[in-house]
Amino acid sequence: MRTTVSGPRVGEQGRRPVGERVGVGGGGGGGAVRVLVVDGEAPLAELLCMTLRYEGWETRSAGDGAAAVRAARVFRPDAVVLDVTLPDMDGLDVLRRVRADLPDVPVLFLTARAAVEDRIAGLTAGGDDYVAKPFSLEEVVARLRGLIRRSGGGWVVARPDSELVVGDLRLDEDSREVWRGEAEVRLTATEFELLRFLMRNPRRVLSKAQILDRVWNYDFGGQANVVELYISYLRKKIDAGRPPMIHTRRGAGYLIRPGG
């Protein structure tokens, strides 16, 4: 997944943008992977959609079962994130109705039900995987990627290799290694996630709230100054003695762009 900085997630030399699908059965042809998010809690649904859009995917949301069935018919999603408990019907009923029209679409259940039998019921009904609430946004993204990779039928999430590139800065998502020019940069796990988020959105100003949601997850209870602290850590490791790449926009947030 080698990207350049000419725009967020833009492929180079004919490569597809990260998050693009090839021959996906749900919609046919190219374009971004489409994910339908179904959850009765509107703020949570919007947060999930925002997170998936940062991955380069296209999203739609629905707050109840009837709306989800209608959206699936029009949007033709390539994957569905589906809350088991909805205001008007059970998530298992929604699954059956969606699958009647899209028999191969992978479904990731969100469930607050901790009982093993409830989880087994969802998987038996045709769900492909589940995440228990409360959950990590990173876990949802990882499980969706796994479902898409495993679903077959021509599904490809275009990751030709595992690198993100901005200027002379390179980040390998698989090996979790980072280089500035020829020098390796050693990062902690949190520093790595923060840098990855910045590099997935080159030249885009990201607010502290967006960074907190994406790097520390939506239920993080700390103060926004933790973002300033970790930005300072990154600058010491990435920018020290070199043309700066990480920039502050007063009152708006932070962005990364090529140095010089």
pLDDT in tens, 125-179: 567 777 888 888 888 888 888 777 665 433 434 444 578 899 999 998 878 889 9
pLDDT, mean over the chain: 78
d(CA 199, CA 260): 17
Which tokens hold the place of 70?
């209608």
Task: Give per-residue pLDDT as tens, 110-137.
Answer: 887 654 555 555 555 567 777 888 888 8
Q: Is the pLDDT of residue 13 over 60?
A: no
Residue 153 CB-half CA count within 13 A: 14
Q: Is the pLDDT of residue 256 over 50?
A: yes
pTM, two decimals, is 0.51
Task: Give per-residue pLDDT as tens, 200-237.
Answer: 998 999 998 888 877 775 444 456 678 898 999 999 99
